[in-house]
Amino acid sequence: MLQRCNLYDQRNRALTGFSGGMRQRFGIAQALISDPQLLIVDEPTAGLDPAERNRFYNLLAEIGEQVIVILSTHIVTDVADLCTNMAIIDRGRVLYQGRPQDAIAQLNGRIWQRSIANAELAGYEQQHQVVYSRLAGGRRLLHLYSASPLGEGFAPGTPDLEDVFFTKLRAWN
């Protein structure tokens, strides 16, 4: 299992000296010893650097070819990179269940974006269904939900799983 989890060369090292990603992989190695049919991982990439995250993605993808892997996470890129099926659950209610790419496709033509000044955010939140906003280059980039074009200054956005997550939580689609 250490070989499979890329830890064989570290087999004589104390676990206390392992990085976060190495500890994650060690935990997977322990879980795989009994040859399970199901593996449940909770927030497996939280705190990992990009190199460790990539190694862990590869390991989970490889394991997923032989074992059912249930991934519980708030990190949307984990879902996009690892999952063939997903569910969005809020307070025990299943808001979506299906393939990530199908959920994204449901938003085609319904996500719009616009860059605004920070001070304008409250006005946009009152007038539009703001999916989310983030700062980029000192300006606020908005993702908005609308079934029809929003007019001048709004560009069609490319939906992603963050858009899916927020629109499902707000029951906009």
Domain extents in the chain:
8-83, 106-169
Q: Other CB atoms closer than 10 Å to residue 65's CB: what's the count?
A: 7
Task: From first to last of the 173 residues of the chain, give the pLDDT tens digit.
Answer: 888 888 899 999 999 999 888 888 888 889 888 889 999 988 887 777 888 788 888 888 888 888 898 988 888 888 888 888 999 999 999 999 999 999 999 999 999 999 999 889 999 999 999 999 999 888 899 999 999 998 889 999 999 999 999 999 998 86
**Fold observed for domain 8-83:** Rossmann fold (3.40.50)
- Tell me the residue length of the chain: 173
In DSSP notation, 15-58 reads GGG--HHHHHHHHHHHHHTT--SEEEEESTTTT--HHHHHHHHH
Put simply, whether the predicted model's pTM sits higher than 0.95 gets the answer no
Beta bridge partners of 133: 142
pLDDT at 61: 86
